[in-house]
């Protein structure tokens, strides 16, 4: 019984720390916007996606997204999360896409 309680508390603590990940910083949003504009040259889209990131991803994953947008090969371990991010940001910023 004690073991189950300890495991439950550990899992709860891990979930809480993951939920408290820092949102993308103002600097990251600016870098994202600049990178997006270099690719899409669409102010409306890039501004929307830069703002949507705060709702969709944390600052650590924002680093991955910006690097990928800049041409760095995406590590396969991020493929599902990256695709989910793209799909959700498109739903927000390109609703009829």
Contacts (Cβ under 8 Å, ≥6 apart) of 64: 74, 75, 78, 82
Instruction: Say if CB 46 and CB 33 are below 8 A apart.
Output: yes
pTM: 0.77
pLDDT in tens, 23-57: 999 999 999 999 999 999 999 999 999 999 989 99
Pick 27 or 20 by higher pLDDT. Answer: 27
Nearest in space to 93 (alpha carbons), one of 50, 30, 38:
50
Looking at residue 97, what is its pLDDT?
A: 77
Give the pLDDT mean for 64-73: 97
């Amino acid at each position: 019984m004690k073991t189950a309680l300890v495991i439950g508390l550990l899992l709860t603590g891990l979930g809480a720390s993951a939920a408290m990940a820092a949102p993308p910083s103002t600097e990251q949003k600016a870098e994202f916007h600049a990178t997006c504009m270099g690719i899409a040259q669409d102010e409306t889209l890039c501004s929307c996606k830069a703002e949507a990131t705060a709702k969709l991803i944390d600052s650590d994953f924002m680093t991955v997204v910006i690097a990928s947008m800049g041409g760095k090969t995406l590590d396969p371990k991020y493929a599902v999360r990256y695709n989910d991010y793209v799909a959700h940001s498109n739903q927000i910023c390109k609703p009829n896409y």
